[in-house]
């Protein structure tokens, strides 16, 4: 057997045993059939535009939505500590907190911004399985909106 083929088989077997993406803090498992706690930066146009995505996500997980409003520093700290699962309502794509958070795909323009910028949704850092489900909800909401 050629060495390259042997390495390919070993790598394939190793990857087959992997369960990717993962949530080190098990956010996805924690919210399925339970509460999905969502921090809202400001109830307004950004939050209203994000709400259908969050509702779609909650429905797909069988979760009950609980909204908490607050300022960015408090909400992001609660998110990092696991007291919240998601933050919506005007998180700019270029947020200064981006290195401390997991950020979704862009969901649309950030209303009220001085320059043209997209907004995103924020999740706890490293919770990649949950972030994948958030991104799937974003894509589904965009597809539904385009079909309307």
pLDDT 10s digits, 71-114: 999 999 999 999 999 999 999 999 998 899 999 999 999 998 77
d(CA 12, CA 85): 33
pLDDT above 70 covers what percent of the chain? 86
Domain residue extents for the chain:
31-147
pLDDT 10s digits, 8-42: 555 554 444 555 688 888 999 999 999 999 999 98
Domain 31-147, CATH class in plain words: alpha beta
Distance of CA 27 to the CA centre of its chain: 11
d(CA 123, CA 26): 12
pLDDT 10s digits, 48-57: 999 999 999 9
Please give the biggest Cα pair distance in the chain: 63
Tell me the pTM: 0.84
3-class secondary structure, 120: strand
């Amino acid at each position: 057997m050629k060495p390259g083929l042997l390495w390919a088989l070993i790598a394939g077997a190793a990857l087959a045993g992997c369960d990717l993406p993962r949530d080190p803090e098990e956010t996805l498992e924690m919210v399925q059939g339970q509460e999905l706690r969502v921090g809202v930066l400001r109830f307004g146009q950004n939050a209203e535009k994000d709400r259908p995505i969050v509702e779609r996500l909650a429905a797909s997980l069988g979760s009950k939505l609980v909204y908490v409003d607050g300022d960015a520093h408090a909400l992001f700290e609660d998110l990092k500590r696991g007291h919240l699962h998601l933050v919506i309502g005007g998180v700019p794509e270029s947020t200064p907190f981006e290195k401390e958070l997991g950020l979704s795909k862009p969901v649309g323009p950030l209303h009220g911004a001085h320059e043209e910028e997209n907004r995103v949704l924020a999740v706890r850092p490293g919770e990649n399985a949950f972030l994948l489900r958030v991104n799937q909800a974003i894509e589904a909401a965009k597809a539904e909106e385009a079909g309307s």
